[in-house]
Amino acid sequence: MAEFLYLLRPHLTLSRWRGRKSTALGGGQWRQTSWVRKYRWRMANGRAALLTAKARKECLLPTGLSENSQNRSDPVFCMMRGTTTVTKESEKRVRKQKKGAAVPPQQSHSSVHFDIHDHRILDADGCLVGRLPECAKQPDQLIALYRIMVKTRLFDEKAIALQRRGQLGTYASSLGQEAIGAAIGTVMADDDVLFPAYREYAAQFLRGVTMADILLYWGGNEQGMNFKGQRHDFPICVPIAGQAPHAVGTAYAMKLCDEKRVAVCVIGDGGTSKGDFCEAINAAGTWALPIVFIVNNNGWAISMPRKRQTGAETLAQKAIAAGFPGEQVDGNDVIALTDRIDQALHKARMGIGPTLIEALTYRLCDHTTADDASRYRSGQEVKEQWHYEPIKRLRTYLNEIDCWSESDEQELLASCHDEVEQAVSCYLNTPPQPPESMFDYLYQSLPAALEEQRASVVQWSKGNE
């Protein structure tokens, strides 16, 4: 009887909690016996703690384990401890034992243990807390990182202003996340391939994409993604995680051609919950592809906080299931990011395989200009996060080592302001695409049915000039 009740536990538990009659017991009211009242399935801090005295003794515990045992082969304690034990197999063994059938020797269980390392070199106050890597020992390198972050932020502010004035469509800001793009663009080789999401403007600027290109794209002109300065990087990807399989396909081609190139796929924390991402990292690990996944964990997938999105303690550990390393890096520490991404690229280029880097940052802005983040998070939370933002952190360090001054700051701001204004002027003076161009890039030869539609659009366009 106890075994029967154990196998029906989901139904009985729901019936008991909801006060419904249990059809499993012939429609009669389910009454709690003393041992069933003790029967619980409790989830606390991601660990499974099972059950009861009698239920475990009669239904679950393998031979030789006491009720209080916490042996790693015990299915009760296998979850979240890295031990791969299948509870159903234990159930089958118990049933065979009760029937007197021959039971084969129980197989040994393999154990998998992993550590997720986190990396930081500059703390929130701009103080060194780690060894300075080679890529940051020259002040000029640090100043270059600082310049691109400042330029990106000024561009960001202008783009939002254009959207508010009705001169730009919906725009996704990178406020507070500039360090990730700056680090990526700094260490990637020219012939590597970038697969961005929609906040990696700093990386794109460093790789030859112009500010006018980005403005054209968000202004509704797809020619903005027809990069003139960077022909093999992929365009902005708004569909969540859609770029991950594309990046894997490109990395596979690189490996087949024996090229010393790397695909870099940037994705948000929300994208790691998509099937596209899971399939992509599985393929990357199986084939040991030259690819680096960078997760911009800014704490929010639109209005979904990180803690409600996944039960995983870190996003980096998702790489472990795919068979390659994952690590966390302070996403507001541009020095640590540059160092860790550089090492991951080198490893991939040498044929050692992929890496996943979870960059821990914070989205100081709305998700896009179509969002109002004040509806789901407090102003106090955002205010506290400004203390950790990346630009002030690096500027403080540059001041400490006497490599930056107030005059340098003002000169940089003026230079970036002029560059942004020139890009805006170029964008606003670019004539719109003719309506019939929507037909021009679908087919090599336009089908007859669409030829008629295109002709009607041309006629309508002429009549409205």
Please identify every residue annotated as catalytic: 363, 367, 376
Structure tokens belonging to residue 11: 């139904």
Count CB-CB contacts under 10 A for residue 70.
Answer: 10
For residue 267, the 8-state DSSP code is: E
Which among 209, 188, 205, 112 has a CA at the least distance from the CA of 342? 188
Helical pair 178-187 and 139-164, crossing angle rounded to 10 deg:
130
Which residues lie closer than 8 Å to 447 by C-beta, 6 or more apart? Answer: none
Cα distance between residue 88 and residue 102, in whole Å: 18
Which among 4, 15, 1 has a CA at the least distance from the CA of 91? 4
Amino acid in position 215 = L
Structure tokens belonging to residue 274: 């998509």
Cα distance between residue 396 and residue 378, in whole Å: 28
Whether 285 and 319 have beta carbons less than 8 Å apart is answered as yes
Residue with tokens 């940037």: 266
For residue 355, the 8-state DSSP code is: E
Which among 218, 197, 211 has a CA at the least distance from the CA of 298? 197
421-425 long-range contacts, CB within 8 A, separation 24+: 421/158, 423/155, 423/210, 423/211, 423/212, 423/215, 424/158, 424/162, 424/211, 424/215
Pairing of strands 326-330, 355-360: parallel
Rg, Å, the chain Cα set: 28
